[in-house]
Every structure is written in structure tokens, then in C-alpha cells.
Chain A
Amino acid sequence: MAANNGFADDLLSLIITNVSAANVGDGPGLLKSAGDGNYHISLHTVALGPSTADQGVNEAAYSGPYARVAVARNVSDWSVASQKAQNDNVITFPTATSSETEVHFGMGFATSGATKLDMDGDLTSDLAVSNGVTPEFAVNALDIDLS
């Protein structure tokens, strides 16, 4: 059995943009969260594996200070189409005053600390952070593919 493309879009929309997945079980289907809330985007200095449940593991710690960036779960901040989701706005982290290399990013529930990690992925190129560097994800630079 396999999930079809429309259902994959529904799932991505529910998870990323907080849009109910209609007609699952009943007409209203899988209902969206009461509030959109945020995904907190993190940077990591070591790649995380699927067994990593804690967003604080190997998280960036450059002086600046580094902090996770909140991105709302809504259709203004993410676009979902053709089993893909991408960010609609620039995601900018604090400017660094110390050095480290970022290789991975995470998406989780909380602003900081050892908290639940929902999803994570590799950076296509490592980002060397040093004094004055401001890490960012440009529009459409985060890509989630459910195919």
C-alpha cells in the first residue's frame, strides 16, 4: 500500500501549514491545531540521525548569541504543492561573534533547550560561521519533500 499524492499534500499541509486534512474518518477529517503555533528552526554542528529526538543535540552555540528562529505554521510562511513544502520568507538567525560550522538544521516545537525534534535535514553545503556572519535561509531554501 502507498499513500497517494493528494493525501501526501494533505499531510504536509496539516503538519507544515496547519490546514485540516478533510475527509479522513469524517468530513472535517484530521483537524488542525487550535492555534497555528510555530516551528522553531535550529542549526546544528553535527548531522542528526532519525533516532535523535532532542533538538538541543549538537545545536549551534555560537556567540551572538545564537537562537532558534520561529516560523509560523501557516500558509503565509510556507507553500505546499506537489508533495513539497518550502519556506515563503527569509529565515534569519542572529549574527555571530564567534566561529563554528553548521551542517544540519532541525524543526521543533520549542524556542530553546532539550526539546522535541520533529524533523531535520542536511544543509546542502556546510556554512562556516565566524564573526559578523549572519546565517539565513533565503526564500525557498528549506525544502521538505514527501514523495
Chain B
Amino acid sequence: MLSTLICLECEVLELVKITQFEIHSDCDLVLFCMGNARETYSYQRALDMSQDLRLHCCQCINTLHGHHLIHGEVSNIDRFEKIKELEASIDFNRELRFSNRMPKHRSKVSHKGEYISIQIGDTRLSIDWEDALQLSTWFRIAGQKARAWAGDATRRMRLIGLATNATPDTGPRVY
């Protein structure tokens, strides 16, 4: 499926395929490239992005298919053997290491209808929820890889929420 990539500064719109995006780990960092926009994340932030994207995907599926499909559907898609392999490969015995490069991220995720929007600086990607779920997976795998490189075997409890206005007549719904 084609997605739209918009440069907010020069208002140039480009149609792109999800295969044109690149997410990969580099030492303890995760790089995300879409068009000319590049973003570097710490592995924790990459895992946060994965969770954020998944949450917005869930809301898209809610809108499209009703509530009760969601959890099982997303959980099944999100259950990846690759992640299990990566976790098994973590060397638990060595000390933590970091690349000392400063990650910077200006990413913001939102959704409307069935589309997820990712904004990095002046570039906005509008993407179908199924592709966004794929990106979420890539972020998760790259984050796990970067975490494995750092030798970090800890687990962290991450909570995020998406609060909206339940009274649509009284104001804009916030996404």
C-alpha cells in the first residue's frame, strides 16, 4: 500500500511504499529514515515508539472493526519469533556498554480514521494502520537488537495512554 510523505516546509507530497523506509539498529541506537528525514533513537525510545504506534493502531482497528477483535489480532501480529531469538542471544554476563552518541528525536505519532501519522521535524508520514503496525514491529526488533548490543537484559514497565474527548459535540476530538 502507498503512503504519503509530506514535507511541511515546502509542501511537497510524495507517494512512497513502506519498503522505502528504513529502521535498523546501530550499536545501542536505532535509526529511522523516511525520505530525507532521519531520526536517531535510544533503544528505550525506539521501544516507546513501537508501543506508541501499536496503541494508535489499536485505536484505528477499534474505529474500523469494533472493539473485540483488537487485542487478539494485534497480539498475534506482534508475536515474533525474531524477538525471541534476539532475546536469547543477549549476553547477560558482560557489562553494559553505550556508544556515547547523543540520540535526538522529534517524533510525534497521531491517528485519524484508519491512518497513522508520524511527524519528524518538518516531514510527516501518513500511513495505513497495517503498515504502521509493521513499522511498530520493526521499531521493536531494532530496539531489542540495540538493547542486546548494549548488554541490557533488564525489563522496564512502560505505560502510555491515549485520552480523548467522549463528547464529540462539544469540541474537537484530540488524537
Is A142 within 8 A of B159, CB to CB?
yes
Is B55 within 8 A of A124, CB to CB?
yes
Chain A residue nearest in CB terms to B167? A134
B interface residues, how many (CB within 8 angstroms)? 44
Is B167 within 8 A of A141, CB to CB?
no
CB neighbours (8 Å) of B160 from chain A are 121-124, 142-143
B76 to chain A, nearest CB (A): 9
SS of B interface (majority) = mixed
SS of A interface (majority) = strand
A interface residues, how many (CB within 8 angstroms)? 46
Neighbour of B162 across the interface among A92, A119, A137, CB < 8 A: A137
In chain A, positions 45-97 with a C-beta closer than 8 Å to chain B are 79, 81-82, 84, 86, 88, 90, 92, 95
Which of B12-20, B28-36, B56-64, B124-132 interfaces with chain A?
Answer: B56-64
Is A124 within 8 A of B159, CB to CB?
no
- Asked if A31 is at the interface of the complex by the 8 Å CB criterion, the answer is no
CB neighbours (8 Å) of A86 from chain B are 58, 71
Is B56 within 8 A of A145, CB to CB?
no
B142-161 vs A, Cβ < 8 Å mask (1 yes, 0 no):
00000000000111111111
- Asked if A132 is at the interface of the complex by the 8 Å CB criterion, the answer is yes
- Asked if A102 is at the interface of the complex by the 8 Å CB criterion, the answer is yes
Is A144 within 8 A of B58, CB to CB?
no
Most A-side CB within 10 Å, residue of B72, B156, B165: B165
Is A147 within 8 A of B58, CB to CB?
no
CB neighbours (8 Å) of B54 from chain A are 143
- Asked if B79 is at the interface of the complex by the 8 Å CB criterion, the answer is yes
Is B162 within 8 A of A121, CB to CB?
no
B88 to chain A, nearest CB (A): 10
Q: Hey, which bits of chain B sit against chain A, CB under 8 A?
A: 47, 51-52, 54-56, 58-59, 62, 67, 70-72, 74-75, 78-79, 84, 87, 90, 92, 109-110, 140, 153-167, 169-171, 174-175
Top 3 nearest A-B pairs (CB, nearest first) are A121-B159, A132-B170, A2-B153
- The contact sample of 6 A-B pairs, CB cut-off 8 A, is A107-B159, A124-B162, A125-B163, A134-B167, A136-B163, A140-B71
